[in-house]
Amino acid sequence: MKIEDAVTAVTAEANALMSCLGQPVVAYHVTAIMREADREHARQMQLALMRRSIEALVDDGLEDVVAEHFASQFDGRLGLAWMQLHASDGVAH
């Protein structure tokens, strides 16, 4: 898997988030996370993006529970894509 493929996979179903944060912002953060080889640092970056995502979705009018559910799904896709991307590069995780 390449970084571009990982970003595409993660953002494919993130229309609500890309609408309120903007596609370039989401793509930038997801790309930065994908490039981070250190698992713990990548996870910290991911958690920060999830917090910002929930805040942005709530500010955009979603209820907290709905925003948290959406962010949870996004978080899962992001984590899975990171693991797939880095599993093939020989880095021990």
Measured distance CA(68)–CA(50) in Å, rounded: 9
Cα–Cα dist 3/9, whole Å: 10
Task: Report the first-to-last Cα separation within the chain, whole angstroms.
Answer: 17
What pLDDT sits at residue 41? 97
Predicted local distance difference test score (pLDDT) of residue 92:
44
pLDDT (tens digit per residue) in 58-92: 999 999 999 999 999 999 999 999 999 998 665 44
Rg (CA), the chain: 13
The dihedral region occupied by 2, where left means phi > 0, alpha psi between -120 and 50, and beta the remainder, is: beta
Give the pLDDT band of residue 40 (cuts 50, 70, 90). very high
Residue 82 to residue 46: CA distance in whole angstroms: 10
Determine the pLDDT at residue 89.
62
